[in-house]
Amino acid sequence: MPYRSNWDKNSAIIREKFPGLLEQLNRSGLEGEGDIQIETAASGDPTLIIQGVSIHSRRDPKREGRRLADTLNSTGPIIILGFGLGYTVEGILEKTGFSPNRPIIMVERRAAVLRKALETRNLGSLLSANPLIFVLGGTEDGITGALHWCETQSPGWKAPFELIRNPGLMQLDADWYAGVERHIQAWTSKDEVNLATLRRFGKRWVRNGSRNLEAIRDLPGIGCLAGILAPQIPTFLAAAGPSLDRIAPILPAIRKRCVMVAVDTALRLFAGAGVDPDFAVVVDPQYWNSRHLDRIPLPKTYLIIESAVYPPVLRHPCAGRFLCTSLYPLGSFIENRLDPKGRLGAGGSVATTAWDFARSLGSSSIWIAGLDLSFPGLKTHFKGARFEEQALSESTRFSPGETRSFRALRDGHPFWAAAADGSRVLTDQRLSLYAAWFENRFHGTPGLKNYRIFGEGLALSGLISVSPEELLSLPIQREEIDRRLGRAFSQVQRDFMGQEQIQERRVKYDAALRELVQGLTKIKSLADAAVEILSRTASPGCTETGKGLPRPQDQKRTCSFLKQLEAIDKEIAASPVKDVAGFLVPPPVLLEAGQKNHASASLSRYVESSLSLYHALSEAAEEQLKQIGRGRHQT
């Protein structure tokens, strides 16, 4: 029977190249097979019909596959939504050839469709070609693991990917494929989260960081705490979602069993329960986020902070402080010359940083509460959170607290998604970006188990839902936890706070600060010189022809100006403080300069965009110098 022969050939390749896929097909491949029909197209090739819907052309499916392949524009990875009988993939391989750096992700909702394709057609050349990844059925977030593999394994990942859709299959399973596309969109946006956060709070971070520079000199880094736990000692992480309310009564019991890490937003719940977490993560630079610590003394809690936090956080009563690596160039410049602290992930939310810190401690399991990434019961935070109290305190007759909650639900472009308990829950685009970050990290640390207590929140691939009873069944280990933490803190005291180490850091700090100020002063001077040169280039005596080029009599003068600018650019590019100076340059100015400073641009457009860039660079360097001066004066 030809179908059996095709199946044998294809399954032999799959067994070798795609471990586990064949078992998945054998387990679920027959479900829905009665809805599938194979017919012969006018070209003589098999075509696919499901529930009366044509999945491929009834005339020439191979030609249709080549036509879809012709829509490719980039050289990046390819995602195909709806595998069908594989004609689109074949068309792509025919067009692009074999490329080990160009993975193809094939997403197919129905296992029976893929099984039918393997029975109907000889797909040996297709299965043996480019790095192929199959995402077969299951939940929509299965695409996350495939995207993570591309990012870590494929050098070609940095190029933008192409998305090709099979209209027929997407019609049959519209909701499922729409969910896949949301996960793809969230994934591709995740790298923009850090940049957007940095740019949004740039000036605030510079002001805070300039006042906190000495903290980089005086505080130890979280690298001192890496791996201090034995794998069998669990870590408990408290985020600040609505489901955290349900964990309050058992916090004392959890503390007996786990090292406790809390985000700053959750500290009010701990204070109400009379429990001090071992660590609290405070990294947001804004004033209102520092208010989460109001009237909450933390005598047994160590703060994990970033050097640009709102300055009063550095004076809050607590057991001690550890710094993580700075997220912005000013702090990084000092840190790299003084004492690298230890990097933590920044996915746009304090919960992402807190999870990465919890991971770094060395436990083989993290038990998580409050990581809802959604609005279960249409609530935004746990009861009593600072955000809720602020909304209630500012409530008026014409602007009640419920209005702020409504706006929080509405303004993030909300949509319904799958919850961990199988129901539906309201989330939004911002929270889905955080979800993509977590799924990426969960899949990237296969030796670490992540457990969710309560299943009310957004379903996340790699986060296992468990009951509170399972957490409370863990053995009591507080005595061992305190012993290990105490030993680690004592070691930090010996290695970091000795008089010799303190004096060495002071010398390095003073030298780094001098280098920073001198470098920023030099860049400001170079940028001002470039503005002067460009102003002369743009003077009325230096005009253009109709093609945007300088007049012949002005070309020698213009060439001289351009050579001077080139020398300035090289000097700025070689400066060790260029990233610090450029941090506050507005992204639109950088984009405009990148688009217009091109050989095909007219002289006037080149001068215009370059003037904007150098003006912005000069102002940014001046602002940094001003804030550093104020910070030194205040300290």
- pLDDT reported for residue 400: 54
Give the lowest-confidence range in 43-52, 64-73, 306-315, 531-540: 531-540
The whole-angstrom separation of Cα 621 and Cα 523 is 7
Residue 606 phi/psi, 5° resolution? -60, -45
Identify the residue with better confidence: 492 or 435: 492
- pLDDT reported for residue 278: 97
Give the lowest-confidence range in 242-256, 373-387, 419-433: 373-387
Domain limits, the chain: 2-172, 201-385+448-496, 500-634
User: What does the block give as tokens for 429?
Assistant: 């685009």
What is the pLDDT averaged over residues 86-94?
A: 88
Q: Kindly tell me the burial class for residue 594, based on how many C-beta atoms sit within 10 Å of its own C-beta (0-12, 13-18, 19 or more).
A: exposed
Bridge pairing between strands 132-136 and 104-108: parallel
pTM above threshold 0.85 = no
- pLDDT reported for residue 543: 45
Query: What is the band of 548 on the pLDDT scale with cuts at 50, 70, 90?
Result: very low
The whole-angstrom separation of Cα 537 and Cα 517 is 30
Query: Mean pLDDT score of the chain, rounded to an integer?
Result: 82
What is the pLDDT averaged over residues 517-528?
A: 94
The whole-angstrom separation of Cα 248 and Cα 256 is 14
- pLDDT reported for residue 434: 82
Query: What is the band of 72 on the pLDDT scale with cuts at 50, 70, 90?
Result: confident
Give 68-114 as a DSSP string. HHTT--SSS-EEEE--TTSHHHHHHHHHH---TT--EEEEES-HHHH
- pLDDT reported for residue 597: 46
Neighbouring residues of 296: CB distance < 8 A, sequence distance ≥ 6 = 267, 268, 271
The whole-angstrom separation of Cα 80 and Cα 137 is 14
Residue 449 phi/psi, 5° resolution? -90, 130
- pLDDT reported for residue 470: 95
Sign, CA torsion 283/284/287/291: negative
Identify the residue with better confidence: 224 or 412: 224
pLDDT surpassing 70 at residue 189: no
Query: What is the band of 549 on the pLDDT scale with cuts at 50, 70, 90?
Result: very low
Q: Kindly tell me the burial class for residue 215, based on how many C-beta atoms sit within 10 Å of its own C-beta (0-12, 13-18, 19 or more).
A: buried
The whole-angstrom separation of Cα 303 and Cα 296 is 13
- pLDDT reported for residue 275: 95
CA distances from 71 to 67, 157, 280, 602 (A): 7, 19, 50, 33
pLDDT surpassing 70 at residue 18: yes
The whole-angstrom separation of Cα 618 and Cα 418 is 50
Model pLDDT for residues 575-623, shown as the tens digit of each residue: 999 889 888 776 555 545 554 444 444 667 777 778 888 888 999 999 9
- pLDDT reported for residue 463: 93
Bridge partner list, 238: 262, 369
Model pLDDT for residues 192-218, shown as the tens digit of each residue: 555 555 556 677 888 999 999 999 999
The whole-angstrom separation of Cα 479 and Cα 559 is 74
Bridge pairing between strands 318-323 and 449-453: unpaired
Model pLDDT for residues 461-483, shown as the tens digit of each residue: 889 999 999 999 999 999 999 99
Sign, CA torsion 608/611/615/617: positive
Identify the residue with better confidence: 518 or 446: 518
- pLDDT reported for residue 102: 77
